[in-house]
Structures are given as C-alpha cells and as structure tokens.
Structure 1
Amino acid sequence: MKIAHIVCTFPPYNGGMGNVVFSLASELINQGEEVTVFTPDYFESSEMKDTGAEPEKIHTESINNNLDFVNRLRPALQYGNAAYLPQIAEELNQFDIVHLHYPFFGVANLVRKWKLRNPHKKLVVTYHMDTRGPGWKGLFFKYYGYFWLPKILESADCLLATSLDYLKVSLASVHYQKHPEKWQELPLGVDSQKFQPHEKNDILVQSLGLDNNFPTILFVGGMDEAHYFKGVPVLLKALYLLKQNNFVCQVVLVGEGNLKAEFKLLTKSLGLENQIIFADNVDNENLPYFYNLADLFVLPSTTAGEAYGLVLLEAMSSGVPVIASDLPGVRKVAELGGKVVPASNAELLAQSIQAYFSLSNNEKENLKKEVRQIVEVDYSWSIITQKLRQIYQQLVVKT
C-alpha cells in the first residue's frame, strides 16, 4: 500500500505527535509498506519566536538527508505549529491511504476538502488530543472545535483514538456518541529496543552532578507555553514538601522552552537548587541514557491537555516505574506501570513518591521487571503497527 501520513511536527522538533509518526512510518516501512510523511518545512522567523510554541531550531537539511520518506512542504502561512500548505492536495492523489494526525490547524480542513473531491480515496484520522490555551488562543480553539472539528471527523472513513478513556471526555466525544462504529482504539507504542533497562552511565552521572546515594526522579516534557499543562510547578512543590519531611531525593528535569527560566526561579525560591538538575538540550538519541538514571518517573500533568503520556511508556520500557496524574488517557497508561494521583495535588504526589521509595528492594526490582514486560508484550511499535496495517487493509478491501 502507498500510505501518506500528515502531521504538524516531525523530528528533530521535540514534539510527541511527530515522534509518534516517525515511529509509525519507520515501522510501516520495515513491514513492507510505501510511506511518505508530509509535514511543514519550518523556518525561523520573528513570528515563530513570538508564539511560545515554535519548533526548536530545526535544521532540515541534515534530517532530510537521513529520512528520504519525509516531504517537507514550505508553508504559505505559519504560526507556531499551525501551517497552511495549499500544495498538499495535489500530493495526496497518488496514495491508497491518507492518514491525518489531528490537531493540525491550517491543514486538517484542506485534507477534508480534498476528501470531499475524492470520495473514493480512504482517509484515516487519529484524534490525538483536544487543543487548549489561554486568552484568544483558547477562544479560537473552542470555535474551531465547535465548528470545524465535526466536519473534519465526518469526512474520515476511519477514526482512531489513542485512548477511548480520553476520547469519551474530549471535544470529539459528541461524534463518538453518534458514530461509535467509525472509531477504534489504537494505543501509542514505544521503541522497546531503543528504550531498555541498562546500568547508569557513569559519565552522565558525573556530568550532571548526581549522587548515587540518593534516589533519582526523572521528568521529561516540554517547558514552553504550548506545554503549560505538564505540571513542573506541582512536582517542585511536592519536592519541597518531601524536603520538609526530611526525605531527600534528586530530580532531573529534561525539556526545553520559554518557561524554563521561570521554573528555575521557582526552584531557587523553594530552596531546591541542590536537588534539581535542569538537563539542557537533550536530543532523542541520548534520551534513553536519562531514563536509565531514574529510579522513578513522574508526569504531574494538570489538565486534559495531556492526552496520553508517551513518556510513561518510554520510562516503563526502560524498566522505570511511574507516577502520573489521574487524567483521562494518562491514567490508563500509568496504571499499567505504577500509580496515579489527583492532578495538581502536590501533597498527594509527595506522599506517593515517598511511598514508592519505602518499598523493599525486592518489591521495587519486581515492579521494574513487570513494567518492562508489559511494554514488550503489548506496546512495542512493531505490535502497534501490525494492528494499524490491519486497519488499513480492511479499508482498502472495502474500496
């Protein structure tokens, strides 16, 4: 089959949706399919720098040399991760399956119009998450979700959700209630070969100034305005409470963005400078080494802007138990490999962290083995991609 994937971000930009599509496309190719990924060819501009949600210094020449299945289209208009790509319609006619990853403002409606002109073509839409934001952005997202989202979903032949738990409380829930037969659950996967349990890298331990005598907690997530919901302040406040309770641990925070300076100021005001390490400019290739540093992974997201938590699977694949917020979608992943706590509750988060480290060494070792096994059996990208291929094949047969 000839398959097109359409996504608003793609590596080397650090964004969950782009990483998902990279993994899916790579595995589809490994399994014998012909795949092209369409994504914007972002370029730096003053408009991008003003959004607080811009891609992080992409160098497309080097990445294009390595990924010949990626077609980067220059936007006619662009704002943050939204882009208007009028040329995309003429590119799609050659494919058996067109797979849109939503949200993608500026392109999703173009794909809908293309489908209306080509009703015999097969369109798959993965609904990754609602879009939320402060001020005028929030108003725009509400308008778009009310007016355009139903039309986009209606145009699809097949609709996928990473979690039905999340879907049922999302903006797409209205469509799901009317047309449940069009929806299927396809969870995200993880590269279980890339993310494996290994001993800590001594050089990395030394460079970060970690002390192996104290437990290490890891957080991985965006620190820009687009990822305001990641909950870093909640984690910092929980660590402050632990310190007040004479429980000392060290925390490595991995992520970039324009809120990072604010988080550093909060760290200082809470007197946690000696416990918190902000790791700078960690690329995807080095990320597995950071998971191997961790005794526990925490994802303290505060809103349903966090729809799944792919980093939870990466941690579990690395043999690291997790604690995450009790949010739709996120909790279904976290419950597999750890514990959920109410969102934005620093006190209960602190209690859960201390409770985990109060377990015996045998209990912790058994939990580490269990979370790794869960990923290997059900969540490797090869298994998820096989399920996706079956969905594609069923659509093509219906032609």
Structure 2
Amino acid sequence: MRIAQITPYYPPHMGGVEIHVKNLTKALSERHEVDVVSSNSGDVVVPSIDIPYSPIPVMKVDVRADIYHAHVPSPFFANLFRGKKPLVITYHNDVVIPERVSGFRLPAFGSRIAEFVNEKIVRRILDEADAIIATTHDYALTSPILREYMDRVHVIPNGIWVDDFEYRREKEDFLLYAGRLVEYKGLGTLISALEGSDVRLVVAGDGEDRGRFEKLVEVKRVKAEFLGRVSYDTLKDLMSRAKALILPSKTRLEAFGIVLLEAMASGTPVIACNTPGVRFVARHGGFVFDSVEELRRIIESLDDAVVRRMGRRGRRYAERHDWRMIAREVERVYERIL
C-alpha cells in the first residue's frame, strides 16, 4: 500500500502533531511505502507562506497514493488534498486561540474570526473525508465540530515506543513538568498549588512565558528548577525518576497528552487537569483535578504506596499503546475504505 501522510509541519519542526506523524510513519513504513508531505521537510516539501501553526501552501503537488491521510486542525495542507480519494483525516484537536501568543495578548475579535475561518475550512474537509480518526471518544463527543461526524469517526489513541522507556519502581522526591512554557499549558496553576511548600519542582521545556513563570516561582516561594529545553534521553531519565508528572493544560488545545503515556511507561503517576481527552488518559495511571486546591491535595497524598500502585497501573495501560499496535489499528481503517 502506498500512503501519503499530509501534515503542515514535520520534524525537525517540533510539536505534538509532528511527533505523531513521524512515529506513525515509522511504524507504517515497516509494511508500506509512506510519503510525507509538509511545508518544511519530508518526501514532498510544498512551498508555503509560513504563517505560525498554519502554513499556507502556494502551489499544488502531484502525489500518487492509495490512501491520503491528512492531519488537522491546521487546515490548509489537508485542504490541498480535499479532492483526493480515499481521504482519512486525523482530527487532533479543536482550535481555541489562546489569549496570549508569542508573549502578546491578541484581540478577542481577531481570535474569533480566525477560529471561525478555521472551522469553515475544517468542516469542508471533514464533509469529504471517507474516515475520521479521533484519539478518544471523550474528546470527540465534546468537540463542537467532531461530534457532528461521529458516524465516520474511528477512535485510535496516540502511541509511544514502549521499549524506549525504563520502568522504575523507586522514585525520587521531585515533581516533573515537561512541555512548552506558555500560559495556556497551565504551569501557573501548578506553581500556585505548590505555593510555600517544600515540594521540589523540575521544569523541562522552554517558551515565551518562561520569564513570567520564573518570577511567579519567586513570588510564590516555590522550589523550582528550570532546565530549559532538554534532550529526549534526558527527558526519559527525568520521567523515570520523578515522583509524578503533572500536565496542567487547561484548554482544548491539549486533547490527549502523549507525555502522559510516556510517564506511565516509566512507572510514574500522572496528574492532569480535568479536560476532555486528557482526563480519560490520566485516570488510567493517576489523577485529575479541577482546582488549585484539589491539585494541592493530590500532591500531598502521593506517598510511596500510592506512587507504586499508580505506576504499575500506568505501565500496564501504556503497554497497550505501542506504535506498532496503533499502526495496525490505522491500517484497519485504511482497509475498510479501500
């Protein structure tokens, strides 16, 4: 089978969709020919206007495939292949433009227009899709767009390479945040939950709001260490040693949380904000919270017995999400529409 994976960006550009497509391509390539189409790298690079998060292709390309598999929410690359058949769309998340982007506060009116335009284009794409993939029922059923297409939705979760992660029972006395340092990711909520405590927080990642978070740590008297961007090997080591990993993202831009699976594979409990999709994953190896006070209580409850029990549960759940298993599920969707 010849498969075209169509994505706005591809590594070395980094993001959740990029990582997903890279690993799905790797797993599918064990049995199929896979061409990656993107704006920046891959097998077919399409000249594009590089609008952040949504590059706009400026020319059509002739890509021959048995399956065209495009990834949204960024719609312009998927729209480029809208007339191709059969067409599969992976709907990663809704578009909810944050109040601040790249450190600047955006006008609410402009954000609403951008969200409206994105929705119109995405709906046209979904109308023509032969199959739609969502990562959880929880997210799909709560999406104002995706819930209208449930007759064509196939739920296939994100994956990880399970063997990449060391399962470690004995943990060290620190909490881990791993992700971009931007407001909507919710790090401020975590810092507030640790206000005045003796709990040590390790922050792996960088972003435009790092300075704001470093100042907040000083104000709240939190014992936090900012490592900046770290290597994948360093991140895996931190995950295996941490007492818990916390994903406090509070918007629908976070629909699954691959980092949760990675921590679970390491035998590390997870704590996540009670948002659709993310909460479904987190409950299989940890806890969800609705408020700063509840997050604080969960952190205080993390004794050795709880950590080990949740670590074992999470590892069992993660083992069912190896990329080779996930790729098989995707292949079955392809076979149904060929």
| TM-score computed with the length of structure 1 as normaliser | 0.78
Cα separation, 1, equivalents of 2:89 and 2:129? 6
Q: 1:283 to 1:188 in 2, by over 3 A?
A: same
Cα separation, 2, equivalents of 1:75 and 1:191? 32
Per-residue Cα deviation, 1:60-100 (whole angstroms, up to 9, x for no partner): 7xxxxxxxxx225253311112112244x4332x1011111
Letter in 2 for 1:347: E
The offset of 1:33, in angstroms, is: 0.9
Indicate the residue corresponding to 1:216 in structure 2.
174
Indicate the residue corresponding to 1:251 in structure 2.
201
Cα separation, 2, equivalents of 1:328 and 1:367? 21
Correspondence list, 1:151-190, <5 A: 151-176=124-149, 180-190=150-160
The offset of 1:10, in angstroms, is: 2.3
1:125 correspondence with 2:89: yes
**Which of 253, 258, 263 is the aligned partner of 1:315?**
263
Indicate the residue corresponding to 2:62 in structure 1.
91
SS in 2 for 1:148: helix
Correspondence list, 1:199-278, <5 A: 215-224=173-182, 228-240=183-195, 243=197, 248-272=198-222, 275-278=223-226
Cα separation, 2, equivalents of 1:140 and 1:385? 36
Q: 1:151 to 1:381 in 2, by over 3 A?
A: same
Q: 12-21 vs 152-161, which deviates more?
A: 12-21
SS in 2 for 1:336: coil
Indicate the residue corresponding to 1:52 in structure 2.
none
Per-residue Cα deviation, 1:342-399 (whole angstroms, up to 9, x for no partner): 1xx2111011111123xxx3443233222112211x2111111111111112222xxx
1:355 correspondence with 2:310: no
Q: Is the 8 A contact 2:70 2:77 kept in 1?
A: no
Indicate the residue corresponding to 2:322 in structure 1.
380
**Which of 179, 182, 195 is the aligned partner of 2:165?**
195
Per-residue Cα deviation, 1:190-231 (whole angstroms, up to 9, x for no partner): 11011222489xxxxxxxxxxx9x72111111124xxx3210
Indicate the residue corresponding to 2:102 in structure 1.
none
Q: Is the 8 A contact 1:299 1:324 kept in 2?
A: yes
The offset of 1:21, in angstroms, is: 0.8
Cα separation, 2, equivalents of 1:341 and 1:33? 42
Cα separation, 2, equivalents of 1:167 and 1:144? 20
Indicate the residue corresponding to 1:45 in structure 2.
none
Cα separation, 2, equivalents of 1:166 and 1:199? 31
Q: Is the 8 A contact 2:75 2:121 kept in 1?
A: no
Cα separation, 1, equivalents of 2:72 and 2:151? 19
Q: 1:391 to 1:353 in 2, by over 3 A?
A: same
Indicate the residue corresponding to 2:229 in structure 1.
281
Correspondence list, 1:1-12, <5 A: 1-12=1-12
SS in 1 for 2:163: coil
Q: 1:170 to 1:145 in 2, by over 3 A?
A: farther
Q: Is the 8 A contact 2:160 2:321 kept in 1?
A: yes
The number of equivalent residue pairs is: 329
Cα separation, 1, equivalents of 2:202 and 2:286? 19
- How many percent of aligned residue pairs carry the same amino acid? 29
Q: Is the 8 A contact 1:220 1:255 kept in 2?
A: yes
SS in 1 for 2:251: coil
Per-residue Cα deviation, 1:40-64 (whole angstroms, up to 9, x for no partner): 12xxxxxxxxxxxxxxxxxx7xxxx
Structure 2: which 5+ residue stretches go unaligned? 100-106
Q: 1:363 to 1:239 in 2, by over 3 A?
A: closer
Cα separation, 2, equivalents of 1:142 and 1:80? 14
Q: Is the 8 A contact 1:99 1:123 kept in 2?
A: yes
Q: Is the 8 A contact 1:150 1:175 kept in 2?
A: no
Letter in 1 for 2:152: K
Correspondence list, 1:6-155, <5 A: 6-30=6-30, 32-41=31-40, 70-71=42-43, 73-87=45-59, 89-92=60-63, 94-112=64-82, 115=83, 118=84, 121-133=85-97, 134=99, 135=107, 138-155=111-128
The offset of 1:141, in angstroms, is: 3.3
**Bigger radius of gyration, 1 or 2?**
1
| TM-score computed with the length of structure 2 as normaliser | 0.91
Q: Is the 8 A contact 1:75 1:83 kept in 2?
A: no
Q: Is the 8 A contact 2:90 2:133 kept in 1?
A: yes
Cα separation, 2, equivalents of 1:13 and 1:148? 24
SS in 1 for 2:232: coil
